[in-house]
A and B are shown apart, each in its own frame.
Chain A
Amino acid sequence: MNLTLRVWRQAGPDAPGRFETYQATDISEHSSFLEMLDNVNEGLIEVGEEPIEFMHDCREGICGTCGIMINGQAHGPAQSTATCQLHMRSFSDGDELVLEPWRASGFPIIKDLVVDRAAFDRIIEEGGYITVDTASAPDANLIPIPKETADFAMDAAACIGCGACVAACPNGAAQLFTAAKIAHLNVLPQGQAERYQRTEGMVDVMEEYFGSCTNMGECEAACPKGISIDFIATMNKDYRKAKSQNRRSS
């Protein structure tokens, strides 16, 4: 199949950007989307043009590195699919595709389709963990955890930290990411001791970098792991409690 790509090119964080048009020719429908881009890049190198920089690594939808806005959709048209797992059979011969980096002020552009998502690490550093020193843990089966609770925690913990939720959000909000991280730990018995400090700390840091949530729901639709916006409700509930509880204890 043959496609026309309009790709955002930007030489560096402070350089002006622009769309460039490239042709992707003779692409197999079994190729992945990123293999199609590899192919275009090989062609660019052949004619002496710098290849398009894009984010990718595991190419199996788990490392969370990849992410491209494809025709205005974070990770493209397929549901619950990261860019790297998108295959060309999702497109048709002759399609024109517009490729842009994640668009959010919390994710500054580094080059072409590559953005800086370090703000996510800052959120985790503010309490996205359970305090337990190595070698101090009791036997793993000491506290039974109901299967439903473990499954709920796992549903939240499945987040791969790709940032599609932020990119898809008209407000550039990071509620879905932060809520998933908080819910994973807050629901477990091990996570209770630091529950409210964690919630307040992480939410406050999130707000330093990202926009506010207005319940649009775009994040859930874009999430390659199908993380539910119900977690945002859980986070908000805990945040309200945290605000009053932490005020009392400080």
Chain B
Amino acid sequence: MTVLDNKVPDGPIESLWDDHKFSMKLVNPSNKRKFDIIIVGTGLAGASAAATLGELGYRVKVFTFHDSPRRAHSIAAQGGINAAKNYHGDGDSVFRLFYDTVKGGDYRSREANVYRLAQVSNNIIDQCVAQGVPFAREYGGLLDNRSFGGAQVSRTFYARGQTGQQLLLGAYQALARQVKAGTVEVVTNAEMLDVVVVDGRAAGIITRDLVTGEISRHSAHATVLGTGGYSNVFYLSTNAMTCNVTAAWRAHRKGAFFANPAYTQIHPTAIPSSDEFQSKLTLMSESLRNDGRIWVPNDPDETRAAADIPESDRDYYLERRYPSFGNLAPRDISSRAAKIVVDEGKGVGPLKNGVYLDFADAIGRLGRDAVADKYGNLFDMYERITGENPYDVPMRIYPAVHYTMGGLWVDYHLQTTIPGLFAIGEANFSDHGANRLGASALMQGLADGYFVLPHTVGDYLAPQLGQPKVDTSAPEFDAAEEGVRAQIDGFLHTKGTRSVDWFHRELGKIMWDYCGMERSKVGLEKALSEIPALRAEFESDVRVLGAADTLNSSLEKAGRVADFFELGELMCKDALVREESAGGHFRVEHQTDEGEALRDDDNFAHVTAWEWTGTPAEPNEHREALDFTNVKLSTRSYK
């Protein structure tokens, strides 16, 4: 076990980033065009990084497996983006956003990164408004804000229920501008299948064209992964169907450490599944908790319709257990509270698998029009999916896997343990600790892409001036391409009996049962014996039809599910060694008498970063110590 160096400079946290920007090496404007940079992924992080690096003058090639950069899953974020603007004079500040984020993350994030994130949050809003992002406004023409879970100030900027869409379109448009300017080349329908490492540095990638099946090699001076999170290891999640861990995982297999894989976020407000054919879960924005009240009937045998149940027979369990935050308690806490009441048999709906999110009070107080103005599109979406009208009957919601705080380990420069390979956005692990606050994912993606990476990449590249990039005929490229081809041939020649989806669903069940909202030693050990057995079956019995030289979504998915198997095992291993409860990681053995998460700061105030050894069952554990000098470690309380 080694102790990792996070490269956080010394100094007061308030000026750390500014001082560091001054001390980092720069690449002269006319020299920037001598450097090639590969970016994988065109979500908020990847698109904003590509656009900014292109503007600066680097030669950028950006890859997406979608048919257009604008389809990346950032587009589905509904609620909003945080910033410490304090436009409402309600006591917000950079320090408060920093403090809330560290506390919200249950004291398992790196202070220096979070402070920097809070600092640049304000620049993000300025940037997006200048790009034409149509944020909601008040009648006076100034920007409107709302509140999100885990905060007692109004700091969330939003564009109806489509904030992610609007921010991604902003970044995509900035990217399109660079395509026009000739600084960025966008390669669509291209999936990254390996990272090539030469002399210990990232030298480029191998991609497969999803339409023609062509395998190609690309080299660059630096490679950046903005490839998102791995919630789909659970099969059912709120992620888009094609979200996957493949890029990050293949980098892991080439030497990039994977940090805190067990930190997954279960979002409290998704629509409960309706039957076994369910392919994904749909989120209802957390912003609904501003005005909706969450409750279940007191009596598990309750049969009356929601409106007929009198107040005295209802349990507003969040308001009861957490009076000061109430329905806006953070996500991990709200999710577990929902699980507890549903496990007690008080769930609502035909399958008794949800809780009510009720707008009757808000409609009475504000009027139906005002509620429609704020949440209309979310209400419409709910009705389309369930066939029920939430203006008349309460919504039914239940927690669903939504985001993964774990990811590739990166230092203060967002560089992985492979020099020259960077990870940004949800793909890295750095800013959210064990639990992410609402409206902070968009903030982090854009902070990394617009305002952090463009500086730190320069520092890496400057000393390489004059050095050519590695030639793609190097033996390392040969080996990587051979590996990719061998895997594809393997899938097509297995000719087994079960579909890729069947295996994915089975893996998802194991992960949800044993590594979901609650984890236990017994359960995790069971998962660790079941996953390898299922993987062996997958390898010998998967059926992938069709050919490699055409669009073949079963083939694409087979590669992604193969990676989910290995990742799933690592997640369970990580959850097993973390003998404490923190944020989204709840170990039943470690809870207070009241059922709240019980951290163990003496033994676990660290990041666990795993090194691939070639055998999924035997990863090497490394650690990064977490120092808290600006925020005092305390038991998180939202009561």
A-B contact pairs, 18 of them (CB 8 A): A12-B550, A32-B279, A58-B76, A59-B280, A60-B283, A60-B381, A63-B75, A111-B551, A117-B67, A130-B132, A134-B174, A137-B127, A138-B126, A140-B135, A144-B140, A145-B137, A147-B137, A157-B166
Contact check, B129 vs A31: say whether CB atoms are below 8 A apart: no
* C-alpha spacing A159/B71, complex, angstroms: 12
Contact check, B384 vs A28: say whether CB atoms are below 8 A apart: no
Q: Is B451 an interface residue (CB 8 A)?
A: yes
Of all chain B residues, which has the CB nearest A65? B71
Contact check, A129 vs B135: say whether CB atoms are below 8 A apart: no
Which of B175-183, B301-309, B624-632 contacts the other chain? B175-183
Q: Is B277 an interface residue (CB 8 A)?
A: yes
Given A35-B277, A85-B384, 10 more contacts at CB 8 Å? A60-B282, A62-B165, A85-B385, A114-B551, A129-B174, A130-B132, A137-B130, A141-B85, A157-B169, A161-B70
Chain B contacts of A64 at CB under 8 A?
70-71, 75
Contact check, B176 vs A129: say whether CB atoms are below 8 A apart: yes
- Top 5 nearest A-B pairs (CB, nearest first) are A144-B141, A129-B173, A137-B130, A140-B129, A30-B274
Q: Is B545 an interface residue (CB 8 A)?
A: yes
Interface residues of B (CB under 8 A from A): 48, 51-52, 55, 66-71, 73, 75-76, 85, 87, 123, 125-132, 134-143, 159-160, 162, 164-166, 169, 172-174, 176-177, 179-180, 186, 188, 211, 240-242, 274-275, 277-280, 282-283, 380-381, 384-385, 387, 450-451, 454, 499, 501-502, 543, 545-546, 550-554
Which of A91-99, A184-192, A213-221, A230-238 contacts the other chain? A184-192
The number of A-B residue pairs with CB atoms under 8 Å apart is: 214
* C-alpha spacing A191/B134, complex, angstroms: 12
Which of A1-9, A49-57, A166-174 contacts the other chain? A49-57
Contacts A38-B279, A59-B241, A87-B387 given; indicate if A131 touches B132 (C-beta within 8 A): no
Contact check, A28 vs B68: say whether CB atoms are below 8 A apart: no
Of all chain B residues, which has the CB nearest A115? B67
* CB-CB contacts below 8 Å: A106-151 with B: 110-111, 114, 116-118, 120-121, 124-141, 144-147, 150-151
Chain B contacts of A12 at CB under 8 A?
550
Give B401 Cβ to nearest chain A Cβ, in Å. 15
Give B344 Cβ to nearest chain A Cβ, in Å. 25
* C-alpha spacing A48/B176, complex, angstroms: 42
Chain A contacts of B384 at CB under 8 A?
61, 78, 81, 85, 87
Of all chain B residues, which has the CB nearest A80? B380
Query: Residue B134 contacts which of A114, A124, A184 (CB distance < 8 angstroms)?
Result: A184
Chain A contacts of B211 at CB under 8 A?
110, 116
Contact check, B55 vs A147: say whether CB atoms are below 8 A apart: no
Chain A contacts of B277 at CB under 8 A?
27-28, 31, 35, 38-39
Contact check, B134 vs A117: say whether CB atoms are below 8 A apart: no
